[in-house]
Structure 1
């Protein structure tokens, strides 16, 4: 097997397309904003940001492999496909061992920058191991599972990035920024894992999995998210936008709202906070993945021309995620232009 074929197969098994743009673009956005808070150009940290992406990719691959391997019995009961169902234990152990070895290497590097960065990075590994691996297996323990997934997928990676920026630049970031990032990341993570649990509720119930949704019911969980988790997420976002002191993210938010309205009234899409629905748009996720990072990079480029290289690199790395929005934005602009032109 060639190296490229092995990487493609590993990417498929690790479900890279499910978390690359969806989780890593918002992490990059917070990193960009953190650099701008220090009044430094982003390109100075481009090497560290690439290393962070590689380190988090290793952790995410480990998480995906471990989760699928420990889910085999439950997936079989629910009649759900599993990418590792027919993979030998030896091969899975080799892949997991390789991820762990690489993770230790990244942690060692981060430790030499700052022990705080290393501990935050290892936090993702520890939490997700407890989330998936018996006998702890927090995945089947209702609220504990939700908090573990939110911490492993959002809270620890976001804070790892922020701590890496601060340590690399030898600067302290505002306490309100750190608190805002922490609360926002945890709330985002909770909403996203509950969305996943709602979409998989039937399979989880058939497998006897005691997730937060199967334990308390879909309607109750939706109300918790809509009336508690989501308002906290929005409030934390407002704090972050306020502390950043940048106009560009606010303009981007208005553009995003405009696109949401076009989706709702022109394209007849359903707007949702957490409930999975056909032909729907989950509120704010696109802002975090596309509008926020692009607005920050454009603002950085305006003041520091060399940051155009970071903008280009972000476009290359997250092209598929960006293209969907850029294409829709172009179609919306064309539609509005046609509406404004006088009839012939």
Structure 2
């Protein structure tokens, strides 16, 4: 959503004008995510059984799973048809998510068990194609053209961010994957090597692409949001003794930048939009309703940090 907001603001348009398209995009990606989850769990049954890992579809009949997948495919085809009427490019990018995740899970291709190919496939399906689908949908709906640097920056940033997220998942599930004999990126090259690759290659690329996007956007608000996020992160580290991590899951740790993407970036963009277009207050309200729990956690943390900075004790209970 944040990248969609930024794309609309790049055209100096009101986000409210495409609010219905944003909701439709959210539904379309939810259908795709449901399909991915069902297909992945169904094709993981044997591997999960070998690893002694619970699988929600382990005792579900093949007919029922086929019905659910069919419903998802039918709904996805409907969204694809609607997007085609707006722009064939949007449909192609939306279809990319379905195709790459099918190849990720389904034998005989099953890229999930092919080390780096699996990482790239998951990153493309979960981040690259959805982000570019949203960006191109906004541009086509507004009949505007976005700079190639913006489109390229979104693609690089999304792919790097997606790689970091799937590798985080593989690191947290490395024991189960090894017991199941899965040839993931982590089980093949080892946790320490993969962690260094993310810390010294993938994450710097992600940060560089993010800075390019912030520069191209030309907005001060996302930079202010970044400063506030960095301040809260420093308080986490120095005051609350939390470990700051790029990819390795740890106890009492904070994964860098994820909270900025989920809270600070979208809120700063919506506040900037509201400042210039009063109608965008409705989008801000809708965003708060849809993602309230995530936002509230950060608001509470901010309150706790502010309380500490004033020398007060944060109330309990």
TM-score normalized with structure 1 length: 0.90
CA offsets, 1:144-194, max 9 Å, x none?
A: 000000000000000000010111111100111001000000000000000
Cα distance in 2 between the residues matched to 1:99 and 1:214: 32
2:50 is aligned with 1:106: no
Deviates more, 1:261-270 or 1:186-195: 261-270
1:64 counterpart = 2:27: no
> Per the alignment, in what secondary structure is the counterpart of residue 338 of structure 1?
coil
Q: Which residue of 1 aligns with 2:4?
A: 31
| Structure 1 SS opposite 2:310 | helix
Distance 2:287 2:64 in 1: 33
Counterpart residue number, 1:19:
none
Deviations 1:22-70 (A, max 9, x none): xxxxxx0000000000000100000000000000000000000100010
Q: What's the secondary structure of 2:254's corresponding residue?
A: strand
Asked if 1:195 is matched to 2:159, the reply is no
Pick one of 236, 242, 249 that aligns with 2:222.
249
2:178 equivalent in structure 1? 205
Q: What's the counterpart of residue 314 of structure 1?
A: 287
* TM-score of the pair, normalised by structure 2: 0.98
RMSD of aligned C-alpha atoms?
A: 0.9
Measured in 2, the distance between the counterparts of 1:277 and 1:336 equals 27
What is residue 267 of structure 2 aligned with on the other side? 294
Q: Counterpart of 1:174?
A: 147
Cα displacement (A) at 1:338: 2.3
CA distance in 2, matches of 1:34, 1:70: 37
In the other structure, the counterpart of 1:304 is 277
Q: Residue 266 of structure 1: which of 239, 243, 247 is its match? A: 239
Q: Quote how far apart the aligned CAs of 1:331 are.
A: 1.1
**Tell me, what secondary structure is at the counterpart of 2:33?**
helix
Residues 1:131 and 2:104 are matched in the alignment: yes
How many residues of Structure 1 are paired with residues of Structure 2 in the alignment? Answer: 313
- What 5-or-longer segments of structure 1 have no aligned partner? 1-27
CA–CA distance in 1 between the matches of 2:264 and 2:25?
21
User: Unaligned 5+ residue runs, structure 2?
Assistant: none
Flag as ranges the 4+ runs of structure 1 deviating above 3 A. none
